[in-house]
Amino acid sequence: MACPPAAHPLPPRQPTVKVILTAADVSRVVDRIAHQILEKTQGAADTVLLGIPTRGAPLAQRLAARISTFENVDVPVGVLDITLYRDDLRRHATRAIGPTQLPPGGIDGKRVVLVDDVLFSGRTVRAALDALNDIGRPASVQLAVLVDRGHRQLPIRADYVGKNIPTSLAENVKVTLAETDGADEVKLFGEAPR
């Protein structure tokens, strides 16, 4: 009696990589968000941009620069470190605490636009809201993100979205910026289908 042929294990899946936004696309998206902020805030009056590290901080600087170019309005920019407000501190390696840098004039009574690169579960934004509550009392808070990939775990949505990218939980979105990574690009990483 012949033995059945040996089953060959399937080779491991190779990740797929798809470029979602090129450097030129990122530039156009930042310009569009800057225009939307100007429109929705009546010329960015009493508006402050606070970037969430790591990539939200340079995005906030870019938005402020583009708003200045379009309307000759200087929007104050700051950085909001959320490290101590994260709900996953016990599950991940120790993180270095970064500086929170408020613009001159602070945030009290101002419209604060939080800026981040990717909106996913909403937990980073929740941590930012907690951190913001400890440093001042803004008149209102809005959210600007370069990419919204869905899968919210909290009832949070962005007011300004550069690109909606529907993803599966098995996929990852990677944003790189010239200021932090040497180049501007947004890529989608996933597993190749069998």
Among 8-17, 27-36, 141-150, 157-166, where is mean pLDDT lowest? 8-17
Tell me: the pLDDT tens digits for 151-176? 999 999 999 999 999 999 999 999 99
CB 108 within 8 A of CB 138: yes
Task: Say how far apart CA 27 and CA 46 lie, in whole Å.
Answer: 25
List residues bridging with 15 in a β-sheet.
191
pLDDT in tens, 50-94: 999 999 999 999 999 999 999 999 999 999 999 988 877 666 666
DSSP string, 54-115: TTHHHHHHHHHHHHHHHH-----EEE---GGG-TTTTTS---PPPPPBPPTT-STTSEEEEE
The whole-angstrom separation of Cα 75 and Cα 68 is 7
